[in-house]
Copies of this chain bind each other. A is one copy, B any other.
């Protein structure tokens, strides 16, 4: 078991998949010669050649559309968006063309769209977005957002092996800042299962991505006040592992959902509604949400800092719920 950064772990997963299966190809803007805007695909061109690692023109719809066509005739394309923000240009191909294919025609479209998402690197409104909520409503799509190097590799492997289109979000602020142990080889982590990162009896915190880390930090701080929060990292956002959340809330009777994405219409809304409806009688406090405000992601550090939910805000919410 090696220690890798989050970025290295994703690259490792990609490399392992390409070694295991000649039908896995990589395409996107500057992924080959340059090795990707974040240098994540560096070395793939050298190892797998220019038939399997393909630089494309700036054309997100063309890239995802081409991935759909290639998938329909038996490849397993992994397309890269330079930034998750730009997937807005491929919205139709992903949501309408790819995701509905199974339902409409029984046709499998095994493709992965990798997209670096998230704020915290001063990218401004169009290089910092969380895009998961836009796609969460789409039938037939899967969505992943890992928070650890191990999951990043293992979930990517599962995403590539999955017969459905998968939007694989990577938090760019974790790329080089986070290191962790990663198994070698085809170390799959299954899609659709949340991970309990920290057990706790008082409050359940359901979260993902960068906020999994901030929530753990907040849980430690809350523990110093005598409140024990259970932190669940969703990992796969679609299909969503509501069972794990429900099982925890059945014990804690309190739920806080935390995400970096904006509040309104974010994933927290679905989770809160589901738990609110199905565990109504178990709840001892209102299901609460901590999320970004309903604004674009601002550039200047004081604004971006205020935009992102802080560990302090999360701690406060945990303690408030526990004492409710």
Complex Cα gap A142–B198 (Å): 40
Question: By the criterion CB–CB under 8 Å, are A265 and B269 in contact?
Answer: yes
Interface residues of A in 60-94 (CB under 8 A from B): 85, 88-89, 91-92
Question: By the criterion CB–CB under 8 Å, are A286 and B295 in contact?
Answer: no
Interface residues of A in 190-230 (CB under 8 A from B): none
**What is the CB-to-nearest-CB distance from A254 to chain B, in angstroms, rounded to a whole number?**
11
Complex Cα gap A295–B268 (Å): 21
Q: Which B residues lie within 8 Å of A264 (CB)?
A: 136-137, 270
Q: Which B residues lie within 8 Å of A95 (CB)?
A: 88, 134
Give this chain's copy count: 2
Question: By the criterion CB–CB under 8 Å, are B277 and A286 in contact?
Answer: yes
Given A272-B272, A276-B273, A286-B278, also A136-B265 (CB < 8 A): yes
Complex Cα gap A183–B289 (Å): 43
In the assembled complex, A40 has its CB within 8 A of some CB on chain B: no
Write out, one digit per residue, whether chain A residues 238-279 have a CB within 8 A of any chain B CB (1) or not (0). 000000000000000000000001101111111011001110
Chain A contact residue count (CB 8 A cutoff): 42
Interface residues of A in 94-116 (CB under 8 A from B): 95-96, 100, 103-104
Which of A88, A136, A262 gathers most chain B CB within 10 Å?
Answer: A88
Question: By the criterion CB–CB under 8 Å, are A287 and B277 in contact?
Answer: yes
**What is the CB-to-nearest-CB distance from A292 to chain B, in angstroms, rounded to a whole number?**
10
Given A91-B88, A137-B134, A139-B262, also A273-B277 (CB < 8 A): no
Complex Cα gap A79–B188 (Å): 47
Of chain B, the residue at the smallest CB distance from A287 is B276
Of chain B, the residue at the smallest CB distance from A261 is B137
Question: By the criterion CB–CB under 8 Å, are B265 and A133 in contact?
Answer: yes
Q: Which of B96, B100, B269 contacts A269 (CB 8 A)?
A: B269
**What is the CB-to-nearest-CB distance from A298 to chain B, in angstroms, rounded to a whole number?**
8
In the assembled complex, A154 has its CB within 8 A of some CB on chain B: no
In the assembled complex, A296 has its CB within 8 A of some CB on chain B: yes
In the assembled complex, A294 has its CB within 8 A of some CB on chain B: yes
Question: By the criterion CB–CB under 8 Å, are B136 and A296 in contact?
Answer: no
In the assembled complex, A301 has its CB within 8 A of some CB on chain B: no
In the assembled complex, A285 has its CB within 8 A of some CB on chain B: yes
Q: Which B residues lie within 8 Å of A96 (CB)?
A: 85, 88, 125-126
Interface residues of A in 275-322 (CB under 8 A from B): 276-278, 280, 283, 285-289, 294-296
Q: Which B residues lie within 8 Å of A266 (CB)?
A: 137
Q: List 17 A-B contacts (CB under 8 A).
A: A88-B92, A88-B96, A89-B92, A91-B92, A100-B296, A104-B296, A137-B265, A139-B295, A139-B296, A140-B296, A264-B270, A265-B265, A272-B272, A276-B286, A277-B286, A277-B288, A278-B286
Which residues of A line the B interface, CB within 8 A? 85, 88-89, 91-92, 95-96, 100, 103-104, 125-126, 133-134, 136-137, 139-140, 261-262, 264-270, 272-273, 276-278, 280, 283, 285-289, 294-296
Given contacts A139-B262, A264-B270, 15 further A-B contacts (CB under 8 A): A85-B96, A88-B96, A96-B126, A100-B125, A100-B296, A134-B134, A136-B264, A137-B265, A140-B296, A265-B267, A269-B270, A272-B272, A276-B287, A280-B283, A280-B285
